[in-house]
């Protein structure tokens, strides 16, 4: 019974933290470590990632179809340029993911302390967004490549994918609304690619559908909520509040791992 509850809560955590700039992988590592959660982690994470991916499709469905139509028609409009920048941005992500796959995988078993250090980095980065002046630029090729690199490095537990990609975009002078949109459209190929690559390594027979469906739905609906919350936070210039949260969690983890759990 307890594992069922933990699985459901994992879905909520995945949905919220996948999109809020606080690192979903970092939170899941900590949560599963604290509760000694022994379920097949790779399989669960892939299923929950699929749920949050559906959240992105749901909220960006009109934009996604517009991009697909423009790309197929080779219509050189804003949708076509966005599609090309999504492709360009995912190239460095794929290179980093393939090159350092084993290293990143080892980090998921390294405990909560490294996650805390990564969360400190994420928090500091988000705090700095308060100092960035609001830009008016669109995404270009150079910005796409830099953001793609940031997305690749965000595989590290504790480094927020959304936080780092949006931070780079804002620092490059991109419009906040465009930074938000690009960050999550960019995530679609990355999440889909990672899911396909990992399918061969999981045993879905170990997961009972009746148990995973509630967690899947929890991740989907909490993902929608998180996307809308983050969009409003960016619009209001309040990303720094998530930085405060990350730093508080990081400090609490350091105290727990180094003193209370010694």
pTM above 0.85, yes or no: yes
Determine the angle formed by the axes of helices 141-153 and 176-198, rounding to 10 degrees: 50
Residues 240 and 125 sit within 8 Å (Cβ to Cβ): no
Residue 123: predicted pLDDT: 95
Phi, psi dihedrals of residue 174, rounded to the nearest 5°:
-75, 145
User: Phi, psi (5° rounding) for residue 229?
Assistant: -65, -45
25 within 8 A of 190, measured Cβ to Cβ = no
Q: What are phi and psi of 157, to 5 degrees?
A: -60, 125
Interatomic CA distance for residues 165 and 90, integer angstroms: 12
Long-range contacts for 222-225 (Cβ within 8 Å, ≥24 apart)?
222/11, 222/12, 222/14, 222/15, 222/16, 223/14, 223/15, 223/16, 223/18, 223/19, 223/51, 223/52, 223/54, 223/55, 223/56, 224/15, 224/55, 224/58, 224/59, 225/15, 225/16
Helices (H) and strands (E) in the chain, counts: 12, 0
Distances (CA, A) of 82 to 50, 64, 123, 179, 230: 23, 10, 29, 11, 21
**In the chain, where the domains are located:** 2-260
Helix H or strand E encompassing 102: helix 101-107
Which of 110, 90, 111 minimizes the C-alpha distance to 102? Answer: 110
Among 143, 125, 127, smallest CA distance to 135 is for 143
How far apart, in whole angstroms, are the C-alpha atoms of residue 59 and residue 56? 5
Provide the residue-wise pLDDT of the chain in tens; the chain has 262 residues: 446 777 788 788 888 888 999 987 777 667 666 666 555 456 677 788 889 999 999 999 999 999 999 999 988 899 999 999 999 999 999 999 889 888 887 877 777 888 889 999 999 999 999 889 889 999 999 999 999 999 999 989 889 999 999 999 999 999 999 999 999 999 999 888 877 776 766 666 656 667 788 889 999 999 999 999 999 999 999 999 999 999 999 998 888 877 776 5
């Amino acid at each position: 019974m307890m594992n069922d509850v933990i699985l459901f809560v994992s879905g909520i955590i995945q949905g919220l933290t996948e999109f809020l700039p606080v690192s979903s992988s970092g939170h899941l590592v900590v949560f599963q470590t604290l509760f000694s959660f022994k379920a097949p982690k790779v399989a669960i994470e892939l299923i929950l990632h699929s749920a949050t991916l559906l959240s992105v499709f749901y909220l960006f469905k009109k934009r996604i179809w517009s991009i697909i139509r423009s790309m197929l028609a080779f219509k050189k409009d804003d949708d076509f340029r966005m599609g090309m920048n999504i492709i360009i941005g995912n190239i460095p992500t794929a290179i980093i993911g393939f090159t350092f796959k084993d290293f990143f995988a080892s980090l998921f078993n390294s405990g909560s302390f490294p996650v805390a250090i990564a969360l400190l980095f994420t928090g500091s980065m988000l705090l700095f967004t308060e100092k960035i002046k609001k830009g008016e630029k669109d995404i270009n090729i150079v910005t796409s490549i830099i953001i793609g690199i940031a997305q690749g490095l965000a595989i590290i537990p504790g480094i927020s994918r959304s936080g780092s990609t949006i931070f780079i975009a804002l620092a490059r002078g991109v419009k906040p609304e465009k930074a938000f949109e690009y960050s999550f459209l960019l995530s679609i190929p990355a999440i889909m690619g990672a899911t396909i690559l990992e399918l061969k390594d999981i045993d879905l027979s170990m997961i009972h559908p009746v148990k995973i469906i509630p967690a899947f739905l929890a991740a989907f609906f909490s993902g929608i909520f998180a996307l809308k919350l983050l969009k409003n936070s960016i619009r209001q210039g309040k990303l720094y509040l998530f930085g405060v949260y990350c730093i508080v969690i990081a400090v609490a983890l350091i105290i727990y791992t180094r003193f209370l759990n010694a």
